[in-house]
Structure 1
Amino acid sequence: MTIPKRPADIYLRFLQLADALRGLPSLPPLDPLEERVLAIVAKASREEERLSVRDMMGKKELGAPATVHSRLTSMREKGWLILSDTEDARRKQVELTQAALLYFDKLSNCMVQAAKQG
């Protein structure tokens, strides 16, 4: 007798595929806080919202401003984020790099693959 598939099986398969994707050498790995920062930047980008370094440092859920600033610096060095100029030279807009966008494309493919196998 076969065990029926549960919706949770699709999600668990996605997590397995996503973990394998994170092991690829395309971009250096992120720590959990950097993953949250990446998600916030991606969401803002998707919603076509501007997000400055100051905006990110003001997000209390990410911790102390100095911690957020150091993570943004780290993520720039790792190739996940770029800072773009705005009309105010003192403000920089946080954006995803092409490599980060490709990473999200690959994650999306993992979701589709997991759903098909489910």
Structure 2
Amino acid sequence: MAAKRTNPPADVYLRFLQLADAIRGLPALPPLDPLEERILSWIARATREEERLSVRDMMSKDELGAPATIHGRLKSMREKGWIMLADTEDARRKQIELTRAALKHFEKLAKAMVQASKGAG
């Protein structure tokens, strides 16, 4: 008789990844490339912490690549509907914000995380 297998934390994470992949397959927003995903995570964390993040701030992040590369990815993310640029007091500086569609995407991922963790019990 085989011993009953326990559900280690890795199983929860793997269930979450499966659900997250299903969410990404839904027709909502166009997919992001890996660098755009990293940039989106950066923007989301800043949004959560209520920090203002400008295009210039993002372009100064050496760990994300060359400024021209980052600028190109921000433009692509705007065209895909993930982010928008808002005016600030200084007309030359644009603040990066998540769109409603991006926030809805994060809500779906959060629900998937909860659903995956419920299956662990």
Measured against aligned partners, the alpha-carbon deviations of 1:28-73 in whole angstroms (never above 9, x if no partner) come to 0000000000000000000000000000000011000000000000
Match of 2:72 in 1: 70
Given candidates 28, 33, 41, the residue that maps to 1:31 is 33
Which amino acid letter does the alignment assign opposite residue 93 of structure 1? Answer: Q
Matched with 1:6 is: 8
CA distance in 1, matches of 2:63, 2:100: 26
Q: Give the aligned length.
A: 118
TM-superposition CA deviations, 1:71-103 (whole Å, max 9, x none): 000000000000000000000000000000000
Equivalent position SS for 2:85: strand
Return structure 1 stretches of 4+ with deviation > 4 angstroms: none
Of residues 104, 108, 113, the one that matches 1:111 is 113
Separation in 2 of the partners of 1:96 and 1:39?
11
TM-score (normalizing by structure 2): 0.96
TM-score (norm 1): 0.98
> Letter of the aligned partner of 2:41 in structure 1?
A
Instruction: Work out the percentage of aligned pairs sharing the same amino acid.
Output: 71
Partner of 2:99: 97
- RMSD over aligned Cα atoms: 0.5
Q: Which amino acid aligns with 1:49?
A: E
Say which one has the larger Rg.
2
Give 3-state SS (helix, strand or coil) of 2:92's partner: coil
> How far apart in 1 are the matches of 2:14 and 2:69?
31
- What residue in structure 2 maps to residue 52 of structure 1? 54
C-alpha displacement at 1:2, in angstroms? 1.9
Give ranges in structure 1 of 5+ residues lacking alignment: none
Give the residue type in structure 1 aligned to 2:108.
Answer: K
Which residue of 2 is the match for residue 86 of structure 1?
Answer: 88
- Alpha-carbon distance between aligned partners in 2 of 1:75 and 1:46, rounded to the nearest angstrom: 19
